[in-house]
Structure 1
Amino acid sequence: YAPMALLEGGTGMGTTSVAGGSPLFQWARAIVRGAQERAKPSDQRLGEFADSRLPGVQSGLFAERPTYPALEQIRLEWWLSKTREWLTVDSPHVRTLLGKESPEALSARLIEGTKLADPAVRRALWEGGLPAVQASTDPLIQYVLAIDADARAVRKEWDDKVKAPTDRASEQLAAARFAAYGDAVYPDATGTLRLTYGRVEGTDVPGQRIGAFTTFAGLWDRATGAEPFNVAPKLLAAKDRIDPNAVMNMAVSSDTIGGSSGSPAVNARGEIIGANFDSTVLTQRNAYGYDRNVNRSVIVTTQAVTTALRDVYGMDHLVAELGVPAPRKARR
């Protein structure tokens, strides 16, 4: 799991775990792999480079998007440091990633030298194909070329030993569920747009009762000034302006799965009341079956968003645009 998550992503941590989510690195990998994969028939490529998905890859590569070199360097440095920490310095994967360099020096060299922040450079490399990629002197392109075979090997091992057996077991489970329930149970996690429903309610887990709501008062109560309860300084500075009873998050008994983050939560009146962003730990079993008794999605409320925009960041113009009434003078 660790090599796959750190070198390739896509195991539940998401591809943003690779290179700390650096857009520059993701562009470099898309350019390198796109050049390699497009030389193959569509059905023999990595799934993300099939003909049907290439327009999406291209639009992401060619789009104007700001990058911040200092942040990019931090992301790469964090990723390289954590990969070395978790896989250890003796791992061949780490030797491939770092060679004789330190995470700090390598990340600085790559970010300072790359030209991939320029969409015209990315377009030229993409349209130039494999010859252009192999001839490129861009350090980030050359780095991805150097580590790509190792990352691909990790991905193949994962696919062969984990994904393939899991997929076969999932097919058997789906067949058994259909034999037992027929079309009375809807297909899940098919990648299609769907609507799910549930109640705002707490839940019982072994030895603990989890309430339906968390408030800003609960946030202050847990704040210790140290990880993982180190509240952002700007939020902490606004404590006296924030209603302690304002609801931050709520638990909902909806049927969700990984990939549902960002989905709007809508009440019976059609009003948006929040956005799904997490789930309780027992909800992980939802990949195989929905259990109404324990399944809880975690929703950040619109009240929390309004509170942050208005009382923490002072973005009254955006709050007004969202249709929220102006705050009373006493709150300012």
Structure 2
Amino acid sequence: MISLHSVSKTFGDHTRSVAALDDVSLDVARGEIFGVVGQSGAGKSTLIRTVNLLERPDAGAVVVDGVDLTSIGSGQLRLARQKIGMIFQHFNLLSSRTVRGNVELALEVTGAERRERRRRADEILDLVGLTDKAEAYPGQLSGGQKQRVGIARALAAEPTVLLSDEATSALDPETTRSILELVRTINQQLGLTVLLITHEMDVVKTICDSAALLESGRIVEHGPLVELISRPGSRLAADLFPLGAVPPHAGNTVIDITFSGGSADRPVIAQLARTHGLDVSILGAVIETIGGSQAGRTRLELPGSAAANAAAIADLRSQGLLVEVAA
């Protein structure tokens, strides 16, 4: 549904320039929720703004629903953008318009008639749970309600793609959860493809199907979450399930075990201790629900060297578990 092919974007001039995006290629499948994560300055906002060409790339192609946006004229681009909704971190609502008026604004741009604008606005406000706030003004709303108006406005023109630019970073944790639940519901009910950027790994864990890590304008890792979890050395997996620094281990072996799918339900540690006669110490554990199933990482300390524990480690790996020797 969304494909970026060797996209680059540089800001500045010949005396000083910054590469916001450096040869970025990315594919987002139809109907999935794809998260792009990275620190401030990584190029996340530039990336998402290239999808609807609010930022035109210096090189590369941006294809949305089969249309190469970088190769069409301004008139065709305006029509294509109507199928790409966008929600923002700071809502961007017009304070002089009611909630309904803000939603209808997106339809005024398309030339929809007044009666159709009102019908569609009321329909979408019902979807986002704001029917009773239709005549209220933004100043009378909470942060979460303002973001729901922003989502409703983005959905008004019945887009096929929804872009989210740090949409929950200004919200408290409880409100963030409710907005993420709403985005997932919209994704499922309307079949929308969602591309979101965030620096919060909890957002990725909560609703994303796939993710990419962006650093200094480059994609350094990407893929479906269920694959990333089982990928040796995955930095995204380590960020999803942080275990912290490896503690002093006094010559013993420290291993990190990644569980996913059915392996999360098995008594792996108890079997390891019983089968190999080991006194196993649990140094840390993180378990989450990813893609509807349990997954996580556990850090164990085994007595003795890695060579002495080779049989135990091989046994774990033979069960389909990802085992990495941390120390």
Shorter-chain TM range is under 0.3
TM-score, structure 2 normalization? 0.24
With normalisation by structure 1, the TM-score equals 0.23
- Larger relative contact order (Cα-Cα within 8 Å, sequence gap ≥ 6): 2
- Which one has the bigger strand percentage? 2
